[in-house]
């Protein structure tokens, strides 16, 4: 059993912790929080040992009636692998803590790529992370694009990817995010950071990305154009994508016209928190004109990186190869809609 600790028990951290608990070959040795709140209370109620991430704030947990198992240093010492799910920039500050205990660590996409040995996507470059000490699980949007690029590159070859990302203003719980009533080019320069980030997984890929931010909280939506090197039909591409792990090609008969219905589907299917771990690709959007493939996909920013974190744990521990890990993770989570 791999002993896993999670530093940062928020939007991503709590989902990763639950996913770790579901795995047959992993145990969660604890989670760390900076302050007592409803998530800290739920962690204890779930039976997850809770550690204080900042020693000076430890007394606040006792004042709130929340029991601590210790300080974060003790969690790092107990873990075989640490998952750092702290806010952007904090992971870089925590790196020395993990190094001082000789504990391999995973970081999230908000950290710089030069912080780590490799950026990670399970479908695209699992082997690069095997035995690494510091691995960055790329962001939700980069994860979604990398999952799409990998089979297309293998099957047809890619001349260029062009993607416009229509991004939610904030997660449902991020009351301070925006815009409230606007549509913002974000950034106003080209490319957005997503293209260069995909290139940390596919160094030789030609890709341009543009970003927009809109007043929504549900999911990101990508408008994707891929110029293929090989001949393909829309039917062939659709079949290829339907056969990929962690891709949900939405059938027309489901009558799902947007992210709202996708979330409703996930809730009706009993998914925890209404999570969608897969790329959600509208089947009728898959079109080929000459060498150009076009499609729309929706990416659930709160959850699509969760199975990637689980696979990255096995990679750094050398506990499985890509196919074995992906299948184990998918089976344990109940992947499939």
**What amino acid positions are annotated as catalytic residues?**
140
Strand partners, 28: 4
Alpha-carbon distance 103 to 57, whole Å?
24
Convert 268-292 to b/e letters by CB count within 10 Å (16 or more is b).
eeebbbbbbbbbbbbbebbebeeee
What are the C-alpha distances in Å from 244 to residues 33, 56, 148, 229, 249?
A: 36, 47, 9, 20, 10
| 8 A C-beta contact, residue 248 and residue 174 | no
3-state secondary structure of 271: coil
Helix axes 11-22, 38-45, angle to 10 degrees: 10
- The DSSP secondary structure of 80-149, one letter per residue, reads SEEEE-PSTTHHHHHHHHHHHTT--EEE-TTS-GGGSSEEE-HHHHGGGGTT-SEEEEPPHHHHHHHHHH
């Amino acid at each position: 059993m791999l002993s896993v600790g999670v530093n940062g028990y928020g939007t991503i951290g709590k989902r990763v912790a639950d996913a770790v608990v579901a795995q047959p070959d992993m145990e969660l040795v604890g989670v760390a929080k900076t302050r007592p709140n409803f998530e800290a209370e739920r962690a204890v109620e779930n039976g997850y040992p809770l550690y204080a991430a900042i020693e000076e704030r430890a007394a606040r947990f006792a004042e709130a009636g929340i029991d601590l198992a210790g300080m974060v240093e003790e969690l790092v010492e107990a873990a075989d692998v640490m998952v750092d799910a702290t806010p952007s920039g904090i992971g870089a500050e925590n790196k020395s803590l993990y190094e001082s205990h000789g504990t391999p660590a995973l970081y999230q996409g908000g950290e710089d790529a030069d912080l780590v040995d490799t950026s990670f996507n399970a479908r695209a470059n699992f082997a690069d992370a095997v035995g690494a000490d510091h691995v960055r699980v790329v962001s939700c949007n980069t994860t979604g694009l990398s999952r799409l690029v990998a089979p297309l590159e293998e099957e047809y070859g890619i001349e260029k990817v062009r993607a416009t990302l229509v991004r939610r203003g904030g997660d449902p719980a991020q009351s301070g995010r925006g815009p409230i009533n606007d549509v913002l080019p974000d950034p106003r320069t080209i490319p957005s950071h997503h293209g260069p980030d995909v290139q940390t997984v596919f160094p030789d890929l030609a890709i341009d990305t543009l970003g927009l931010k809109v007043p929504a909280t549900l999911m990101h939506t990508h408008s994707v154009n891929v110029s293929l090197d090989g001949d393909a039909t829309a039917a062939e591409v659709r079949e290829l994508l339907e056969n990929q792990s962690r891709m949900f090609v939405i059938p027309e008969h489901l009558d799902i016209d947007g992210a709202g219905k996708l979330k409703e589907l996930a809730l009706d299917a009993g998914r925890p928190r209404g999570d969608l771990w897969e790329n959600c690709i509208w089947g009728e959007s898959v079109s080929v004109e000459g060498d150009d493939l076009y499609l729309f996909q929706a990416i659930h920013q709160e959850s699509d990186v969760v199975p990637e974190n689980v696979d990255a744990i096995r990679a750094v521990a050398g506990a499985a190869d890509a196919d074995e890990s992906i299948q184990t993770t998918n089976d344990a989570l109940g992947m499939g809609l």
